[in-house]
Structure 1
Amino acid sequence: MRIKLAKTAGFCMGVQRAIDMALRTAETTTDGKPIHTCGPLIHNPQAVAELESKGIRSIADWRPVAEGTMIIRAHGMPIEEIGEMRARGLTIVDATCPHVVSSQNRIKRASEEGYFVVIVGDPRHPEILSLQSFAPGNHQVISSVEEVALLPEVPKAIVIAQTTFHEKQYDLIAKAVSERISDCRIVQSICKATSNRQAEVERLASEVDVMVVVGGRDSANTRRLAEIAEARGVRTIHIETADELDPSFFRGAETAGVTAGASTPAWITRSVIERLETFSS
């Protein structure tokens, strides 16, 4: 069985930057005070466990924290919560992805100019929670074409997407919004690394017999890669580690494609390929 690895597999710039900032913080913090991230720094349990071994602890709620450093993860956080952290005296290390920061600034500016903000994405995703805070009381989050009908009647709107949203789905939603609201600005906010990764997995899925998508199950961009591969009709499996691979899944396959989400460390992808190679022998 031949193995074809996607060129775009693995950490994106924003994730690598957040990891580097967190590790640098751990190395330079000498006061003994705790270092936290509010939620996992990235959506990969193995990477989060590695960070914890360096003294960087993920917590679900920052409010009980009385001192130390809080690292803002790549997805960003609601602006008012960051303000509360600063007011409490916590040291802030802002590892928000620059692409997310760009979206935050665009939303803030458009809202101040009187545009209603339509944010396209998963309403439960931390990036969306962050983006919403830049247009308080002047936005709505939608995730499908059907939800466009639920938008209020407004004179003008701006449409912007979660940076890891499905590009083709976003185009359909944005088109539907523009047909309903005549004065409509559409922002191309999906990260280029995300769109390139999605385009490559679509191409790769048409060239192989099976697809292996490696990454955390809580990672939106990784789940989307699996959905794209499945939509191409190829047998697809989404795994977090090589231990989940079952030789029977690959029976009869001559070629296997492998890709990985933006939060997947290279060492995990390598271990998957090494295990797949044992199926070839």
Structure 2
Amino acid sequence: RLTAIARPDVGVVTRVSPAHLEFFSSVDEIALAKRELIEGLNGRGSTAVLNADDPRVAAFGPYAPGRVLTYGIEKQAFFMAAEIEDRGALGSAFDYLSPEGRVRLELAVPGRHAIGNALAALTAASVWGIGAAEAQSVFNTLRAPAMRGELLRFSNGAALINDSYNSSPAALQAMTELLAATPNFHRRILVAGEMRELGTSSPQLHREAGQFAARTGKVDWVIGVAGDASEIVEGAVAAGLSSGHSKFFQTPQEAAEFLETLVSPGDLLLVKGSRGVKMEQIVDALIARHAAPGEFSRQEVRH
């Protein structure tokens, strides 16, 4: 109904993943809902921008009424990234391949998943003739917004990735990869709140998230907060993480009290969870505890 009202000229679909499963019977049903955007584009003059790396999204192409442009990292596409240098929370660099040619781009926004988002934006921007040169000038100034992957540094050498705005299984995996890939830290601590709206698949999806964290071999602590996040802890221990390096807390306040004593110089924390869990309370508590007056960069604290 929204596409019938707006009649968009360009539609972008980045991925289909198990989110909001409480309201859908399967991931395939989520895909059908997202496909409606492509089917509702504004006729033959419209452009569908699709992620070639996601098989469900790539399959939307025949349903587009106009032109289809694809982007990707793993699969062949019109717009691609290659020779990726993943710096974790510090950003990335990659070769951008497009009909214009090949150019090296720097991206300050953290995480490998941000490269896919950048490719989606570059592909959509190409519709209006915006190329790599213009994009790089924008990428140089991009920073993660508050509670969406912002990097907070403390005066004692510890740091925190604040991604507490929301969570889903795919997003948690992407941020866990980011945590594991960030160099030059002594310990990496995952603090994961319950992911909501996952229906009957919730326990399994939480458990798989914990297993993934443990199997990176780079996550030293896993802390779950509220509800089914207990399954994250259990999954991590089942996949090989020491039970002495895992904890579950019912509330963010309890988790914050524990973390205030756990965090030491050289630690990197990732705090992530659905909005209903209020994981930002953990972030605020750690700022209050570990940021000495006048020593913490207020430009990096954007609440």
Q: TM-score range by the shorter chain?
A: 0.3 to 0.5
Determine which structure has greater relative contact order: mean sequence separation of CA pairs < 8 Å that are 6+ residues apart, divided by chain length.
Answer: 1
TM-score (norm 2): 0.34
